[in-house]
Amino acid sequence: MAAKYTRRFFYVRNYPFMIALALVVGVNSFCRSHAQADEGEGQNVSTESVLTPDQAKQKLQDLSKQVEAAEGDIQKLREQFGPNNPTVIQAEAELRRNREILPLYRKLLPLLAGERDAKKAAETSLSKQLAAKMAHQEMEAEQRRRAESEETAPAMADIQRKFDAMAQALQAREQALVEAKMQLAKFERDRLPQIESGDLKIYTLQALPAKDAALSIETLFGAKSIRVAVDNRTNSLIVYGDREALPTIEALLQRLDETASSEKRGGRAAAASPPLVLRVFWLADAGTDRSQVATDILPESVIKAATKLGVDTPYLVTQTLTTLNVTGSDGVEFQTSVPALLYGRVLQLRLGGKLTLVQPDRAAVAMHADVVGEGINCELRGSIAMPLGHYMILGTSNSVLPHAANAAPDAAGMEGGFGAVDPASGLPLEPKFNSTRFAFVVQVIPAESFAPGE
């Protein structure tokens, strides 16, 4: 109990000393921080030089407040320990040094403000000089344009006068031509005899041009008994003539129009292209069953092209032939599906697309080829254009499919999926795979027809 009261008495008795110690530590820390900042300011001028006037003013205000607060703290230390205390003497020395910094900041403020004003003045002067230079350049350009315009104005005026004179001469010539045609027509009318008891008929033709029909009628009947005019907008003949001649003219025009219509239909039928045969050859490299060597069907040039594309020794898996009747420019769509045997597995080749005859001897094919089956799904799409009878490779594709030995018989005794077992050990066999490369060759040829008995 006595020790407890002794400690409490010590704290109460030494309370002023502890406050003084805290003040000394605080003042020394303040003075050292400003001394270090001043040393940093002297060593790194570039950092201080970027202060704006507002930042320098704020720093001056903060430093002034801190100096005033330090003065009060040192006064309390002086009263507590006396003016000759070493700590008080050191704090007063640091305070004097910081008081010397305040006038420097006060001198710095107008310098920064002057630097800012000078910078603004320089920028303003530069902007004015730039604007004046641009205005001067624009004025010089305008003067050059005016000078060029004044130099070319006489030549342009002379060209315009010549053009106007040529237009007037052309207009006068056209007017004279119209007047000459009118006089010629009047002369012809006056020269032709009058048609007594004539009738007017209009004949609209379907296939025969009206101007050709008019020439035929005038050649046969002459201008004494009929007058013929052509209406090109409706392909019609306006005929005025004797009542007795008009039925004959009508029958003749009908026969000529029917003949022209038959010729047009025959020409269209002759121009229609014959049916085309689309041939697609599915090739694979030497790793296949080799049911048929591709060189037995395809020319050597196609085999070399397939070899360059990675099909080392091409063998024919299967081929398709599709006959298509191509009419018009839209082309005709096709679709076919055929089975094929590859590595002991039954696969399906599905083809689809559009065949278009772009020229009488040239065809375009847009096609997709899909190979589907157990353990394989190969898709290839492309478009080609080639002369009729030529070969072209649509594309090539790599494929990997499981070997037939991998399959284990199911309940029905059919092979399906993985799971083959070694009969000797009863353990599952390691799956085997076959790798091959496909190529699809396309050819379009005209279709042939055969008469019975050939």
pLDDT in tens, 11-46: 333 334 444 444 444 444 544 554 454 444 444 433
pLDDT score of 391: 93
Question: pLDDT per residue over 393-432, tens digit each?
Answer: 988 887 776 665 555 444 333 344 445 556 666 666 555 6
Stronger pLDDT, 97 or 416, i.e. the higher one = 97
The CA distance from 141 to 150, in Å, is 14
Per-residue pLDDT, averaged over 78-86, amounts to 83
pLDDT score of 409: 46
Q: Which segments of 44-85 does DSSP mark as H helices, in order? A: 45-49, 53-81
> Residue 228 CB: number of other CB atoms within 10 A?
20
CA distances in angstroms from 291 to 241, 302, 340, listed in the order given:
83, 19, 11
Straight-line distance from the first to the last Cα atom of the chain, in angstroms, rounded to the nearest whole number? 141
Stronger pLDDT, 448 or 26, i.e. the higher one = 448
Per-residue pLDDT, averaged over 128-143, amounts to 87
Per-residue pLDDT, averaged over 57-70, amounts to 80
Quick check: 1 pLDDT over 50? no
Stronger pLDDT, 79 or 24, i.e. the higher one = 79
**DSSP reduced 3-state for 70:** helix
Task: Identify any residues that bridge with 378 across adjacent strands, giving them in sequence order.
Answer: 371
Q: Which of 257, 318, 261, 262 is nearest to 441 (CA)?
A: 318
Q: Which of 234, 198, 303 is nearest to 221 (CA)?
A: 198
Per-residue pLDDT, averaged over 279-286, amounts to 85
The CA distance from 360 to 320, in Å, is 24
Q: What is the CA radius of gyration of the chain?
A: 55
Stronger pLDDT, 431 or 345, i.e. the higher one = 345
CA distances in angstroms from 225 to 186, 217, 220, 237, listed in the order given:
18, 11, 11, 16
The CA distance from 124 to 378, in Å, is 74
Do 74 and 92 meet the contact criterion of CB atoms below 8 Å apart? yes
- Phi and psi (nearest 5°) for 160? -65, -40
Per this entry, what is the length of the chain? 454
**Domain-by-domain residue ranges, the chain?**
2-126, 198-271, 276-446
Q: Which segments of 272-324 does DSSP mark as H helices, in order? A: 300-308
Angle at which helix 86-191 crosses helix 15-43, to 10 degrees, equals 50
- Give percent of the chain with pLDDT exceeding 90: 10
Lowest mean pLDDT among 30-44, 124-138, 152-166: 30-44
The CA distance from 370 to 352, in Å, is 9
Quick check: 2 pLDDT over 80? no
User: Where do we find the tokens 């002057």?
Assistant: 114
Check residue 447 and report its DSSP letter: -
Do 319 and 281 meet the contact criterion of CB atoms below 8 Å apart? yes
Do 171 and 202 meet the contact criterion of CB atoms below 8 Å apart? no
The CA distance from 371 to 113, in Å, is 84
Angle at which helix 15-43 crosses helix 53-81, to 10 degrees, equals 150
In this structure, which amino acid lies at residue 332?
V
The pLDDT confidence band at residue 259, using thresholds 50, 70 and 90, is: confident
> Token pair for residue 398?
């790599």
Quick check: 203 pLDDT over 80? yes
Looking at the domain that runs over 198-271, which CATH code has it been given?
Answer: 3.30.1370.120
User: Where do we find the tokens 């237009």?
Assistant: 167
Quick check: 266 pLDDT over 90? no
The CA distance from 73 to 440, in Å, is 99
> Token pair for residue 203?
């004949």
pTM of the model: 0.40
The CA distance from 442 to 288, in Å, is 21
Question: pLDDT per residue over 369-398, tens digit each?
Answer: 998 887 677 888 989 998 998 999 988 887
Strands, E assignment, 300-432 = 315-324, 332-342, 345-359, 362-373, 376-387, 391-402
Question: pLDDT per residue over 162-202, tens digit each?
Answer: 888 888 898 888 888 888 877 776 666 555 566 667 788 89
The CA distance from 133 to 75, in Å, is 66
